[in-house]
Amino acid sequence: MKYIPTIGLEIHCELSTKSKIFCDCPVSFGGEPNTRCCPVCTGMPGTLPVLNKKAVEYTIKAGLALNCQINEFSKLDRKNYFYPDLPKAYQISQFDLPICKDGGLTINTPDGEKFIRIERIHLEEDAGKLLHDGFGKYSLADYNRCGVPLIEIVTKPDLSSSEEAKEFVEKVRLMLLYSGISDCRMEEGSLRADVNVSVRPYGTDELGTRTEMKNINSLKAIARSIDSEIQRQIELLEEGILITQETRRWDDNKGESKSLRSKEDAHDYRYFPEPDIVPITFTKEEIEAIRNSMPELPDKKFQRYTVDFGLNETDASLLLTSVNLSNFFESAADECGNPKSASNFIIVEVLRILNDRKLSPEDIPFSGNVLGRLIKMIENEEVTSANSKKVLSEMFDTGKTPEVIVSEKGYKVINDSSEVEETIREILSKNEKAVEEFIGGKEKTFAFLMGQCSRALAGRGNPKLIKEILQKELDKRKGGI
> Which residue type does 111 have?
D
β-bridge pairing 272-273 and 77-80: antiparallel
473/452 Cα distance (integer angstroms): 15
| Across 443-468, average pLDDT | 85
Distance from chain centroid for Cα 12: 16
Q: Any idea how long the chain is? A: 481
170/180 Cα distance (integer angstroms): 16
For residue range 31-43, what is the model confidence (pLDDT) as tens digits? Answer: 899 999 999 998 9
pLDDT-based confidence at residue 183 (cuts at 50, 70, 90): very high
Domain 417-479 has what CATH class? mainly alpha
373 pLDDT more than 90: yes
Q: Give every CB contact of residue 257 below 8 A, 6+ residues apart in sequence.
A: 213, 225, 228, 229, 232, 248, 249, 250, 251
Pairs from 390-397 (Cβ < 8 Å, separation ≥ 24): 392/349, 392/350, 392/353, 393/353, 395/365, 395/366, 395/370, 395/371, 396/353, 396/357, 396/364, 396/365
Average pLDDT taken over every residue of the chain? 92
481 pLDDT more than 60: no
250/353 Cα distance (integer angstroms): 36
276 phi, psi to nearest 5 deg:
-95, 0
417/68 Cα distance (integer angstroms): 65
For residue range 275-331, what is the model confidence (pLDDT) as tens digits? Answer: 999 999 999 999 999 999 999 999 999 999 999 999 999 999 999 999 999 999 999
Percent of the chain's residues with pLDDT above 90:
71
Pairs from 289-294 (Cβ < 8 Å, separation ≥ 24): 290/57, 290/60, 290/61, 290/64, 291/64, 294/61, 294/64, 294/65, 294/179
Positions of CATH 1.10.10.410 in the chain: 417-479
For residue range 253-263, what is the model confidence (pLDDT) as tens digits? Answer: 999 999 887 76
For residue range 43-54, what is the model confidence (pLDDT) as tens digits? Answer: 999 999 999 999
Distance from chain centroid for Cα 311: 20
Output the pLDDT for position 480. 59
Instruction: Say what the pTM is.
Output: 0.85
Least confident of 222-231, 331-340, 343-352, 440-449: 440-449
